Chains A and B, each alone.
Chain A
């Protein structure tokens, strides 16, 4: 067991290391000498200041040494400094991360619940409806669904807020504040959740159908176990495993969805931060968000791997 955990941790660390190297190379590829860009952002560009910047950030040293400095920085959560926002990139991301986790977590839960509901009705009209809807959402640009639901539910019907995280200046606290945030969360989470449903409902359905053909399911039925219990205990429980694995592998898609959803709904998460950095061409922040979101995907995969080895005894621990 310990060997399994260690090997997984090591693999995750290696992937992170490689992503950090890619990130470093991308920073070098960004237009202009980084010192000139920083000086421009700080609003002063004389030769002395440029030299100071180069010395401070080690830009006057050979490339491999710069890479080493960069990796050392990442190991201590130093992702660079944004002169445009006059803050460290790590603190900018840290401020925005909770909102993104709340949004994506809720959306993921929405999609899983919808996926299970869909798969339980295989062959009936509701199954056809959900499968068709999944195909529809799979082919529709997420940002467009976000905009259209904004028109219908926020601007025309007015049942939920249009944009934002909470009512500005309302001065709520405690439970009222939580409810206010939840109210703002409805539209973005539903939009993102439906987008995931388009991916996962189809997978969940296929997985349920596969498990339903196994012998032990027939045995359970033959024993006279109630159909609802067979669906829940014997089929759904086993069918959800591969879906969550695939969800882990596709966690990167969640990040992409978050960028678009947060941009449309002005949700103050790291996706919105990425959009703002894009508009200002703030490459330090852009690459910082890119690195953190990659790291989150690696972490998510690691956690699912480990949780699985506990949940499903069929997974080879020794491997």
Chain B
């Protein structure tokens, strides 16, 4: 509770939290407000915003409701952002923990491997992976996870390295606990705070990545996404700006909100760092 208070006291992160709640509400309410598929043609094409009361954000080239697409897109963005971040953590945390705890050769090898992945242009790699595996929600999540784990590994490794020399870890070693047990039971729980902070920022990056992939036509063909909507409106930009405009705003607000919350989390969970900034 005190933690929540601290988070809200931070004005910008309170705003972020509010926006995020709205996006979440949109995702939850979409199937209730617009039970029909967002792909369905429901009106005349190229209706301007508020040309008809029924379509406050207008319709696109095929007469699909832009607002309906926007609301349905919210759940896709949040879901892909969250799941792919989780997947990246599943790759990055164990690797970083093992490298940082064992040190030496293992650490060296793990770090060279991480550097290799950091050198490869991440967006280009994501494009290639999705194109080769064919666009689907699974290939997109996999691609985003594969390009976003390296910073996690570096972070966890650094934390674990400094924790390893603490007295309570040394005590556990003396007591004869096995290495996996020490890593899981003593070390990793103490790295959770920075991982949460980084995770919230990674969700934002993942949402941007997903929208860029969808924009290039690499989205899941069954899902209405914000990136796809911007891309679809591209060819009729002059006559129908609203088709591309509103989804872009939605991406911007969501990503900004996640960044603000991430910064707020970092300050609230780690007051020492906040003062240094």
Contacts and interface: CB of A to CB of B under 8 A. Distances in A.
Given A135-B259, A286-B131, A155 B237 contact: yes
A127 B182 CA distance: 47
B244 interface: yes
B148 to A, nearest CB: 12
Contacts of B122: 252-253, 256
Interface in B122-153: 122-125, 127-129, 131-134
A290 B116 contact: no
B227 to A, nearest CB: 7
A275 interface: yes
B247 to A, nearest CB: 8
A256 B121 contact: yes
B155 to A, nearest CB: 15
A239 to B, nearest CB: 17
Contacts of B187: none
B156 to A, nearest CB: 19
B7 interface: no
B134 A278 contact: no
**Number of contact residues on B: which range applies?**
35 or more
B251 A144 contact: yes
Contact of A278 (B129, B217, B251): B217
A252 B125 CA distance: 10
A141 B227 contact: yes
Contacts, number: 129
Nearest to A289: B124
A135 B238 contact: no
B68 interface: no
| Most chain B CB atoms below 10 A, which of A138, A139, A290 | A139
A37 to B, nearest CB: 12
Contacts of A160: none
A163 to B, nearest CB: 11
A142 interface: yes
A148 B245 contact: yes
Contacts of B251: 140-141, 144
A83 interface: no
A116 interface: no
Contacts of A254: 121
Interface stretch (B42-50, B86-94, B103-111, B204-212): B204-212
Given A15-B116, A15-B119, A147 B230 contact: yes
Interface in B189-245: 204, 208, 211-212, 215-218, 227, 230-231, 234, 237-238, 241, 244-245
Interface SS of B by simple majority: helix
Interface in A265-298: 274-275, 278-279, 281, 283, 286-287, 289-290, 293-294, 297-298
B216 A275 contact: yes
**Number of contact residues on A: which range applies?**
35 or more
B96 to A, nearest CB: 18
A136 B255 CA distance: 10
B109 to A, nearest CB: 12
A13 interface: no
Contacts of B212: 141-143, 256, 260
Interface stretch (A24-32, A106-114, A169-177): A24-32
Contacts of A29: 132-133
Given A139-B255, A141-B208, A255-B123, A148 B217 contact: no
A138 B204 CA distance: 10
Contacts of A297: 119-121
Interface in A230-259: 249, 251-257, 259
A268 to B, nearest CB: 17
Contacts of B238: 151, 155
A263 B227 CA distance: 14
Contact of A31 (B125, B132, B215, B255): B132
Interface string B242-277: 001100100110011001000000000000000000
A151 B234 CA distance: 10
Contacts of B259: 135, 138-139
Given A26-B128, A274-B127, A143 B119 contact: no
Contacts of B134: 31
B118 interface: yes
Contact of B215 (A143, A148, A151, A301): A143
B235 to A, nearest CB: 11
Contacts of B125: 290
Contacts of A260: 212, 215-216
Contact of A256 (B123, B128, B133, B217): B123
Given A15-B116, A140-B248, A283-B132, A253 B230 contact: no
Interface of B: 115-116, 118-125, 127-129, 131-134, 204, 208, 211-212, 215-218, 227, 230-231, 234, 237-238, 241, 244-245, 248, 251-252, 255-256, 259
20 contacts: A18-B116, A19-B119, A19-B120, A136-B252, A141-B208, A141-B212, A141-B215, A143-B215, A144-B251, A147-B230, A147-B237, A252-B121, A252-B123, A278-B131, A278-B218, A279-B217, A283-B132, A290-B121, A290-B124, A294-B124
Given A140-B251, A150-B237, A155-B238, 18 more contacts: A29-B133, A31-B132, A135-B256, A135-B259, A136-B252, A141-B215, A143-B212, A144-B251, A147-B237, A151-B237, A155-B237, A259-B127, A274-B127, A278-B218, A281-B131, A290-B121, A290-B124, A294-B119
